[in-house]
Structure 1
Amino acid sequence: MVGNLLGLAALAFGWKRSMWTWPVQVLSGVVLVAAYASAQLSGGVGKQLIVIVVSVWGWFQWQRGRRGSGDIRVRFATWKERLLLAVGTAAGTCAVAGLFLAFPKLSWAPWPDAYIFVGTLAAMVAQARGWVEFWFAWLAVDLVGVPLAFTSGLPFSGLVYIVYFALVLLGLRAWWKRSRIPAPTAEPALEGAPA
Structure 2
Amino acid sequence: MQAIAEWVLDNGFTVLGQKISWAELVGQLCALAVVFLAQRRTLATWPVQVSATVLLFAVYASAHLGGLAIRQVIILLISVYGWWAWNRRSDPVYGVVVRKASVVERLVLISALALGTAAFALLLSALDASWAPWPDAWIFIGTLVAFWAQGRGLVEFWLVWLAVDAVGVPLQIASGLYFSAAIYVVFAALVVHGWWSWNRTARVQRTRESAAVGG
| 2:107 alignment partner, one of 80, 83, 97 | 83
- TM-score normalised by length of structure 1: 0.88
Cα offsets for 1:85-133 (capped at 9, x unmatched)? 11011111111101111011x2110000000000011111111111110
| Higher mean displacement: 161-170 or 68-77 | 68-77
Per the alignment, residue 159 of structure 1 pairs with: 182
Please tell me whether the aligned partners of residues 159 and 195 of structure 2 are also in contact (alpha carbons under 8 angstroms): yes
Fraction of identical pairs, as percent: 47
In structure 2, distance between residues paired with 1:40 and 1:152: 9
In structure 2, distance between residues paired with 1:55 and 1:183: 29
The structure whose residues are more often strand, as a share, is 2
Amino acid at match of 1:28: A
Per the alignment, residue 72 of structure 1 pairs with: 96
Amino acid at match of 1:174: S
Q: Look up the SS of the partner of 1:51 in the other structure.
A: helix
List gaps (5 residues or longer) in structure 1: 189-195
In structure 2, distance between residues paired with 1:156 and 1:167: 17
Q: Look up the SS of the partner of 1:180 in the other structure.
A: helix
* In the alignment, structure 1 residue 125 sits paired with structure 2 residue 162: no
Amino acid at match of 1:93: T
In structure 2, distance between residues paired with 1:36 and 1:145: 13
* In the alignment, structure 1 residue 143 sits paired with structure 2 residue 180: no
Per the alignment, residue 171 of structure 1 pairs with: 194
* In the alignment, structure 1 residue 113 sits paired with structure 2 residue 125: no
| 1:95 alignment partner, one of 119, 122, 129 | 119
Per the alignment, residue 31 of structure 2 pairs with: 7
Query: CA distance change for structure 1 residues 6 and 70 in 2, over 3 Å: closer, same or farther?
Result: same
- TM-score normalised by length of structure 2: 0.80
In structure 2, distance between residues paired with 1:39 and 1:64: 38
Q: Look up the SS of the partner of 1:59 in the other structure.
A: helix
Query: CA distance change for structure 1 residues 141 and 84 in 2, over 3 Å: closer, same or farther?
Result: same
Per the alignment, residue 193 of structure 1 pairs with: none
In structure 1, distance between residues paired with 2:175 and 2:54: 23
Size of the aligned set, in residue pairs, is 187
Q: Look up the SS of the partner of 2:81 in the other structure.
A: helix
| Higher mean displacement: 63-72 or 43-52 | 63-72
In structure 2, distance between residues paired with 1:70 and 1:178: 8
Following TM superposition, by how much is the alpha carbon of 1:31 offset from its aligned partner in structure 2, in angstroms? 1.6
RMSD after superposition: 2.1
* In the alignment, structure 1 residue 30 sits paired with structure 2 residue 73: no
